[in-house]
Amino acid sequence: MTPTSQQLHDWDKHYVWHAFTQMACYEPLIIESAEGCELIDTEGRRLIDGVSSMWCNVHGHRHPTIDAAIQTQLGKVAHVTNLGCSNSTTIQLAKRLAELTPADLDHVFFCSDGASALEVAIKLAFQYWHQCKNPKPQKTSYIGFEDAYHGDTIGTISVGGVDRFNAVFQPLMFPVHRLPIPDRRVPNKETSCQHHLQMLEETLAKHHESIAAVVIEPLVLGAAGMIMQPAGYLRGVRDLTQKYDVLMIADEVAVGMGRTGTMFGCQQEDVVPDILCLGKGLSGGYLPMSAAIATTEIWNAYLGDFAAAKQLCHGHTFGGNPLSAAAAMATLDVFEQEDTLAQLPAKIQRIAQHLSRLAEHPHVGDARQYGMIAAVELVKNHETGEHFPWTERHGHQVCQYALQHGLWIRPLGDVIVIMPPLAVSMEQIDTMCEVIARAVDHVTLSKAS
Ligand code: PLP
C-alpha cells in the first residue's frame, strides 16, 4: 500500500537521521518528483528549486538527455568496481574532463562526494612530497582558511574552518595553518587583497618547508555564507604557492560546472591549480559523483614498478560508477547542446537587477553575487550592519515564508542563498527574487513594527 503523506512525515521524523540537523526541531519537506527547475512535494505543491537541490542541479531535474543517458547505461551495466577493472563510460568521462580542464590537469580520481574528492586531494598532495623527483617528506602540513568548508570527514574538517561544525571533533583533527580570507566588501579592496596575500606570504616564507598544500575554495566561500573574494586574490594565491613550492588544491565542488559563468571557477583568474576537485554539479546533480583531477607532474610521481609501492592507497566501492559517469557525460553534452554558458550573462544580469533593489531594504546589509551565486544578508540595521541575534533565526523564517509561496531555498544563518539551476528561466528568476523580497518584508518589517 502506498504510504500517506502523514505516514511519510512521521517515518521521516522517526527513522531518517538528516544531515547537519537537530532532529528535535526538524520539520520535513518531502519531495515526490521534480520537473525542470521545480520540485513537487507529496501534497502536489510545486516549488522553484532555488538552491539547485544543495547547489548541484545544473540543467534542471528530469532533463530528457540526462534521463535517457542513465537509462541507456542501465541497459548496459549499473555498477562495476574500478579496482582492477574499468568501464567504457567512466573512461570516456575521464578523457573528456582531462580535455575540458585547463593545462595538464589530465588524471582523474573518481569518488562519490565532495568531501571524498578533497580527502583524496589532501592525501595525493601529502604522498606526492614523499616520492616526487625532489622528495621533501617533511612537507606534512597544510594552509586552510577560516570559515572554509571542504566536507565533513576528519581530513576535510582539519583543513576546513567552520568552527561551529568542527569544534566537537577538535581532538581528532590534525593541525593546520589557518588564515583569514579577504572579503571583497571591505571598503579598500586593493588593500584587503594585498594585505591578505601578504599574510599568506609571511606564513609561506616561514613554514613552506613543512607545508604540502594550500587548500582553497576559489572565489567564494560557500558554507561560510557566500563570502566573495576580491578580484586578484586567487591569482595571488597561485603565484605564491608556485614561488614557495607548495601545491595548490582548488575545491571547486560548489563553484565548478559553470556556476561562476565559466566552466571552472579558476578560469575566472586564469589559474591552474595542482589538483582540482569537482563534485555536486559534475553529474548534473543527478547521482553521486566527484573527482580529484591532478596534473601530470603529480601523476608521474606515483608511477613506478610494483615494488616501489607508490600507489595512492585510497578508493571507494562506488568510485567511477558507470551510471554516475553516464549522467556526467550527458551533463557535459547538455552544456554543449544548449550552449549553457552563453545563456548565463543575461541571467546573471537579471539577478543583479533584483539584488540592487533588495540591497536597499532596511533589513538587508548586503546583496552580493558572483555569477549564478547570490546571497542576501539580513541585518537588524542597514546603516550599521548590526546583525539580528542568531537565535531569532530570521534566515530560517524567510525560507519558511518562501516555502509557503512556491520557493524552496535554504539559509546559511541570516544569509539567504540564491543558487538556482543554471537552466532557470528569466520568469523563474523574477518569481524567486520577488518572493524573497516579500519574505524579507514579512519577516523583518512585521517584527520591527
Ligand atoms: N567543498 C565545498 C566547497 C562544498 O560546498 C561542499 C559541500 O557543500 C563540499 C566540499 C562537500 O561536498 P559533499 O557534501 O558532496 O561531501
Tell the residue nearest (CA) to atom 14 of ligand 1.
114
Q: Report how far apart the first and last C-alpha atoms of the chain are (Å, whole number).
A: 50
Kindly list the protein residues whose Cβ atom lies closer than 6 A to any atom of ligand 1: 113-115, 118, 149-151, 217, 222-223, 251, 253-254, 279
CA–CA separation, 266 and 249 (whole Å): 11
What does the pLDDT look like over 256-292, one tens digit per residue?
999 999 999 999 999 999 999 999 999 999 999 999 9
What does the pLDDT look like over 152-189, one tens digit per residue?
999 999 999 998 889 999 999 999 999 999 999 887 76
DSSP annotation string for 345-383: HHHHHHHHHHHHHHTTSTTEEEEEEETTEEEEEE-S-TT
Ligand 1 centre from 277 Cα, in Å? Answer: 10
Task: Tell me the whole-structure pTM to 2 decimals.
Answer: 0.97
Ligand 1 centre from 253 Cα, in Å? Answer: 6
* Residues 21-31, mean pLDDT to the nearest whole number: 93
Q: What percent of the chain has pLDDT over 70?
A: 99
Instruction: Specify whether the CB–CB gap between 260 and 219 falls below 8 A.
Output: yes
Compute and round to an integer the Cα radius of gyration of the chain: 22
Count of residues making up the chain: 449
Helix (H) or strand (E) holding 110: strand 105-111
Ligand 1 centre from 245 Cα, in Å? Answer: 27
pLDDT classification of 449: cutoffs 50, 70, 90: very low
Residue whose C-alpha is closest to residue 257's, from 196, 194, 328, 209: 328
pLDDT over threshold 50, residue 241: yes
75: exposed, middle or buried (Cβ count in 10 Å: 0-12, 13-18, 19+): exposed
pLDDT of residue 189: 64
Ligand 1 centre from 219 Cα, in Å? Answer: 15
* Residues 92-111, mean pLDDT to the nearest whole number: 98
CATH superfamily of 5-59+340-448: Aspartate Aminotransferase, domain 1 (3.90.1150.10)
What does the pLDDT look like over 305-351, one tens digit per residue?
888 889 999 999 999 999 999 999 999 999 999 999 999 999 999 99
CA–CA separation, 34 and 232 (whole Å): 39
Tell me the torsion sign for CA atoms 288, 294, 296, 298.
negative
Least confident window among 85-89, 308-312, 331-335, 415-419: 308-312
Residue among 216, 253, 318, 415 whose CB has most ligand 1 atoms within 8 A, to mutate: 253
The residues spanned by each domain of the chain are: 5-59+340-448, 67-337
Ligand 1 centre from 105 Cα, in Å? Answer: 21
Give the fold, CATH level 3, of 67-337.
Aspartate Aminotransferase; domain 2 (3.40.640)
Residue whose C-alpha is closest to residue 433's, from 448, 411, 418, 412: 418
What does the pLDDT look like over 349-403, one tens digit per residue?
999 999 999 999 999 999 999 999 999 999 999 999 999 998 999 999 999 999 9
Mean pLDDT, the chain, integer: 96
Question: What 3-state DSSP class applies to 302?
Answer: coil
What does the pLDDT look like over 128-148, one tens digit per residue?
999 999 999 999 999 999 999
* Residues 210-227, mean pLDDT to the nearest whole number: 97
pLDDT of residue 306: 87
pLDDT of residue 356: 98
* Residues 42-68, mean pLDDT to the nearest whole number: 97
CA–CA separation, 153 and 165 (whole Å): 11
Residue among 57, 118, 150, 181 whose CB has most ligand 1 atoms within 8 A, to mutate: 150
* Residues 78-101, mean pLDDT to the nearest whole number: 97
Contacts for 102 with CB less than 8 Å, ≥ 6 apart: 264, 266, 267, 272
pLDDT over threshold 90, residue 447: no
pLDDT over threshold 80, residue 190: no
CA–CA separation, 206 and 227 (whole Å): 28
| Known binding residues for substrate | 149, 280, 315, 410
Instruction: Specify whether the CB–CB gap between 253 and 114 falls below 8 A.
Output: yes
Q: If you ran DSSP here, which 8-state letter would residue 409 be given?
A: -
The cell for 84 is 582492477
ipTM of the complex: 0.99
| Known binding residues for pyridoxal 5'-phosphate | 114-115, 251, 316-317
Residue whose C-alpha is closest to residue 19's, from 219, 194, 135, 165: 165
Rounded (10°) CA dihedral 398, 400, 402, 403: 170
Ligand 1 atom having least distance to the Cα of 148: 3
Three-state secondary structure readout of 328-344:
HHHHHHHHHHCCHHHHH
Neighbours of 84 (CB within 10 A): 5
pLDDT of residue 265: 98
Is 67-337 in the same CATH topology as 5-59+340-448?
no
Residue among 110, 149, 282 whose CB has most ligand 1 atoms within 8 A, to mutate: 149
Ligand 1 centre from 104 Cα, in Å? Answer: 24
